């Protein structure tokens, strides 16, 4: 009798552990890209970044380099420069080096040489009731920790249901997003999705504000147009779960 009880308990425990593993696996196995902010052009009109990581499913390394036209809010012609490994033996470092090599001429063409300063950042592990949907900051000021100008600013992100053209997305609930900027003068719209999710975003299920960045202040000059940008993380459904990708939205046009 006791043996039967032990067997039943063990079986239930095994089933519970298997179910828990099945729930955790997509999160562990999914592809969470990292971002490398390469910098601004000398005139502040262009911003470049690299998105890289290990692809879910295949385990192959990849890297994509984007150069964004901040004036017209679009990728520059020819970008992104993408490199995808064809097997697991090729290292991420090697793939990233090739992508940067492919992008070299474009980065030089637009004089991507001004370093990025992070004004505000929400870590992926950070949590509060509004984490990822709101971020607040003031312009850093010299000198000392926490010194800022009296110019409180915010970003507000809103998600909403949207249609996707991807067949695999038909049984899911894809979302688009709207992004707003707020300061003492009021609220302005930075981005608003249309009725259909852009094909480049696949089947996106969530969004999150990642950071606000600006050109490094030591490079400011009389003719320098300091353009802040919002880095938005998107979470499309991938081969083995929800992935992470990045987008850039100009704040100062």
pLDDT of residue 5: 41
With a pLDDT cut of 70, the percent of the chain lying above it is 85
Q: What is the pLDDT of residues 12-40, one digit of tens each?
A: 444 343 333 334 444 445 799 999 999 99
The pTM of the full predicted model, rounded to 2 decimals, is: 0.84
Question: Which band of pLDDT confidence, cut at 50, 70 and 90, is reported for residue 143?
Answer: confident
Residue in 253, 249, 129 with CA at minimum distance from that of residue 180: 249
pLDDT digits (tens, 9 = 90+) for 203-233: 999 999 999 999 987 665 545 557 899 999 9
| Residue 92, phi then psi, degrees to nearest 5 | -65, -40
């Amino acid at each position: 009798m006791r043996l039967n009880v032990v067997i039943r308990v063990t079986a239930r425990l095994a089933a519970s552990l298997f179910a828990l593993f099945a729930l955790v696996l997509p999160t562990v196995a999914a592809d969470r890209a990292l971002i490398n902010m390469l910098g601004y052009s000398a005139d502040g009109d262009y911003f470049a970044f690299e998105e890289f990581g290990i692809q879910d499913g295949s385990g192959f390394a990849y890297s994509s380099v984007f150069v964004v036209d901040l004036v017209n809010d679009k990728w520059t012609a020819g970008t992104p420069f993408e490199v995808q490994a064809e097997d697991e033996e090729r290292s991420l470092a090697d793939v990233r080096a090739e992508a940067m090599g492919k992008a070299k001429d474009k980065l030089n063409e637009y004089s991507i040489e001004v370093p990025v300063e992070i004004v505000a950042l929400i870590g992926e592990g950070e949590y509060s009731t509004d984490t990822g949907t709101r971020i607040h900051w003031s312009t850093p000021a010299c000198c000392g920790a926490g010194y800022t100008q009296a110019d409180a600013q915010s970003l507000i992100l809103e998600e909403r249901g949207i249609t996707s053209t991807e067949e695999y997305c038909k049984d899911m609930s894809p979302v688009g997003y709207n992004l707003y900027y707020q300061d003492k003068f009021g609220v302005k719209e930075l981005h608003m999705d249309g009725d259909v999710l852009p094909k480049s975003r696949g089947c996106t299920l969530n969004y999150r504000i990642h950071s606000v960045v600006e050109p490094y202040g030591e490079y400011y000059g009389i003719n320098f147009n300091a353009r802040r940008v919002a880095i938005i993380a998107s979470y499309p459904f991938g081969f083995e779960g929800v992935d992470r990708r990045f987008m850039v939205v100009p704040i100062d046009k």
